[in-house]
Every structure is written in structure tokens, then in C-alpha cells.
Amino acid sequence: MRLILVLGLLAVSSTAAAQEDAPGVIVITASDDATSGAAIRIDGEPSGNVPLRKTLTPGRHLVQVGKRGFTTFSKWVDLVGGQVLTIPVALEPASVKTGSLLITADVTGLPVYIDGQRRGGTPLVVDGLAEGEHIVEIKSPGEGYQPFSQVVSIKPDQRTTIEATIRLAPDLGSLRVIANVPGSIIRLDGVEIGVAPAAKGGLSPGEHIVTAEASGYESVTQTVTVIAGRERVVSLRFTTPSTEIPRILVRASVPNATVTIDGEEYGNPPITIEPADLGTHSIVVRAPGYREVRRTCSVGPNRNCEVYAELNALGVPVRVEANVSNAQLYV
């Protein structure tokens, strides 16, 4: 009887030891749709996404579930060998950190735009702005004023202040440039100031060089005079196609003439070769009864070859006879 009792105790002890050594299972489920798909870390290591069933060694483990825009779920669990532990998770939306912005200007009542949306007029206090960078804009009310634009950084629970200068200084002027080709690039005195329509304030009075560039057109340049305390508006118009594609163009005064370029006959004028090879080309224009015209011209960057051949008629031989010797001839 005593032997049977001892054997029973040994069997129970062996079973308990086996259960302690057996792995456990953690099951992580989502209590709502927002939590589904959230990333899971166990003991700091990426382990998958919700929902998850994972086998672990018995002991203490840290379970973390996170998703952008939500507060991270974190929980320590004690896992027993052979245990199946279910952890339902419902992530809570993270609170947005906000700050405020004070905008003042030297002109009151001007509309203020933040990230493209009108928020009121100067002076203005805007509360509840999300942490991070925002674009503040104040448009020019007209001549004698300049537009204002600045990127500001909002910090949580803090107020940022902007002091905008809209009124032009009496000893400085401004310039606004418009163009007939959308997206054209505007340069002032060789420095790019933006895309048309572009504006620039705080300019010294006097002459400035404005250049507009647009794909497919020759650049347009104009000298403008800036006047202190005033805004000058300049309109630039693109009219000349770009010479980016090298071209040879041959015309002649005689329509039935024959054009030969670099030894190859091309037919009657006008003749256009586009694109043409860069370099020097030999051009010959011939027509019956006319003196031929020979020209050479070069094709290069921003330079085309254009030839107009004025063909002159050949002289006609005339034989003059007289029945008196030693007669004189006047022409």
C-alpha cells in the first residue's frame, strides 16, 4: 500500500513538471475594427499583426500593440506552460497635440490663409492648430503693398507669433510679373523669384532686368523701372518659338530653282530640314537662265541656318553687224 502511494505521488509530480515545461499560447484579438491589423511586438520583437496566435515559453512576457494615430497598448502577462491566454485589445485614438498662432500685420483687416484656407483677418489668433509646420499667407491688397508668406512651426501647448509687414517701405518698391504662358519661370536680375504670376517686394528703386522662360519658347527679357513705395506690374508675352530644334531653311526668288545642301539635291524651295545636323553646311541654289547662288551657314545651339537666295538672270549674247566699216556702237 505504501509503495502504491509513493508511485502515485511520483506520477503526479512528473505530470506537473511536464506541464511546467510545456509551451504556452497567447491569442491576441481585436475588440473593434480599428484595432484589426495593428502591429504586435512581444518582448520588443515584431511578432505580426492583430489577430495573432503565438506559442511562447512559459514565463513573463511584454505584449505591445500599436498603430499610427492610436495610443500603444502595453501589458505584461505571466504565461503558464500549457496555458492558452487570450488578450482582447481595443486601441484608443491618440490625442492630437495642438498649439496656437498669433498673426499681426501693419495693416488691419487683411484676410489670413493657413494651409490655403481662410481663417480670418489681421490681427488674428488661431487655436487648435496641429503640431508641425503650416503655411501662413496674406495677399497684397493692392498698389503700395506686398504679399506675405511664411512657414511656421507649431509646438504643443505653445503660442507662436508672426508679425507680417505688408505695407511697402517708402524707399523701396515691388514688382509683379505676369505672362501669357502658364508655368513660365520668372527671374529678376538673374535670380529666380517663382512661377508667373510672381511677385517680389523690398526692391531698390531703379532699373531691374526681368526674364521669363517657358518650354517651347524663346526667353523674353525686359528692363523695368521700380519706383519707391509703388508696385510695378509687368506683362511678358511669348511670341517666338524656341530654336531648341536645329533647322535649315532655304528660300529663293525663283520658285523652280533647285536646292542642293551638302551635295544632296532637295528639290524646289522653300526647303526645310528639321532637325538638322549641327555644324557648317554648304548650300547651292540653281535655276536655268540664272546665276547660281552659293552660301555656307552654321547650325548650333540656339542658332538656325536660314538662307534667302536672290538669283540674277544671266546676260543674253547679242551680235551686231553694220554695212559701214569703222562704224561706232553705243549701248
Per-residue model confidence as pLDDT tens digits over 56-67? 999 999 999 999
Task: Quick: pLDDT tens for 285-294.
Answer: 999 988 999 9
Residue 242 pLDDT class (50, 70, 90 cuts): low
Q: What average pLDDT does the structure give for the chain?
A: 84
Query: Per CATH, is 248-309 categorized as 2.60.40.1120?
Result: yes
Give the HSE-up count for residue 66: Cα atoms under 13 Å, Cβ half-sphere: 11
Domain ranges of the chain: 2-93, 98-164, 173-236, 248-309
**Is pLDDT larger for residue 221 or for residue 201?**
221
Per-position DSSP letters for 261-307, written without gaps between them: ETTEEEESSPEEESSPPSEEEEEEEE-TTB--EEEEEEEBTTB-EEE
Does the pLDDT value for residue 97 go beyond 90? no
173-236 sits in which CATH class?
mainly beta
- CATH number assigned to the domain with residue range 98-164, chosen from the 4 options 3.90.1150.10, 3.40.630.10, 2.60.40.10, 3.40.50.2000: 2.60.40.10
Mean pLDDT confidence for 68-90: 91
Q: What pLDDT does 316 receive?
A: 56
- Please tell me the CATH superfamily of domain 2-93, with its number: Carboxypeptidase-like, regulatory domain (2.60.40.1120)
Mean pLDDT confidence for 64-92: 91
**Same fold: 2-93 with 248-309:** yes
Does the pLDDT value for residue 216 go beyond 70? no
Mean pLDDT confidence for 118-139: 90
Q: What pLDDT does 63 receive?
A: 94
Q: What pLDDT does 208 receive?
A: 94
Q: Which of 13-22, 119-128, 182-191, 315-324 has the lowest mean pLDDT?
A: 13-22
Q: Torsion over CA of 127, 130, 135 and 136, rounded to 10 degrees? A: 0
Q: What pLDDT does 169 receive?
A: 67
166: left (phi over 0), alpha (psi -120 to 50) or beta: alpha
In whole angstroms, give the CA distance from residue 212 to residue 180. Answer: 10
Residue 6 pLDDT class (50, 70, 90 cuts): very low
Does the pLDDT value for residue 3 go beyond 50? no
Most confident of 78-92, 216-230, 269-283: 78-92
Q: What pLDDT does 318 receive?
A: 60
In whole angstroms, give the CA distance from residue 65 to residue 50. Answer: 8
